[in-house]
Amino acid sequence: MDPAIDINETDFDLSVKLYNVLGKILRKLRKQAGKQPYSTTEQATMALLDSNGQMLPSELAEAHHISAQGISQIVNRLFDQEVIDKHPDQTDKRKVYLSLTKKGQQALLNIRISRSKWLAGTVSDQLSPKEKNILKEAVEILGRLAEN
């Protein structure tokens, strides 16, 4: 363990294991979404627009930690597929807000349903009632970590 990190070794090891398990689960969730016409970044962009209502391309680029040119390519592909809409700002016509279309909302919902079905099936098939209760508590704890 790096001596510059001021964490006890047990907590550090737990964090590494948690990180690895979460990574595996996320990869499986992405895979379970099936063959989608949208890349992972495009799906994440759609999810950001869904949760925020509308955003500027610069806000999306910042959220993804990518260049303006990179987000422009993503936005153009999603616009061409009619899953996002562009709305000029009423006061500053140079600004263009992006939002999900109904088609985009439905596509995102389908992706989420596919992932949720796999996860629900796995939980149902693989875990005992006792383990499900432990998982329920763990989800609440993970939620607190996510808010930190």
Chain length of the chain: 148
pTM of the complete model:
0.75
What CATH architecture does domain 38-147 belong to?
A: Orthogonal Bundle (1.10)
pLDDT at residue number 5 = 59
pLDDT score for 34 = 62
Q: Residue 75 and residue 77: Cα distance in Å, rounded?
A: 6
Rounded to an integer, what is the distance from CA 106 to the centroid of its chain? 16
- pLDDT in the model for residue 33: 62
Q: What does each of the 148 residues of the chain score in pLDDT, given as a tens digit?
A: 455 557 788 999 999 999 999 999 888 887 776 667 888 889 999 999 999 999 999 999 999 999 999 999 999 999 999 999 999 988 998 899 999 999 999 999 998 888 888 899 999 999 999 999 999 999 999 999 989 8
C-alpha distance from residue 25 to each of 32, 53, 55, 103 (Å)? 10, 28, 29, 28
- Angstrom distance (rounded) from CA 79 to CA 57: 12
pLDDT at 20: 95
State pLDDT tens for residues 123-140: 999 999 999 999 999 999
Alpha-carbon torsion (66, 107, 85, 99), positive or negative: negative
Burial of 97 (0-12, 13-18, 19+ CB in 10 A): middle
DSSP state of 55: B
* CA gap 76, 94 in Å, rounded: 17
DSSP state of 31: H
Q: Which residue intervals of the chain are DSSP H helices?
A: 9-32, 40-52, 57-64, 68-80, 102-126, 129-147
C-alpha–C-alpha distance, residues 60 and 62, integer Å:
5
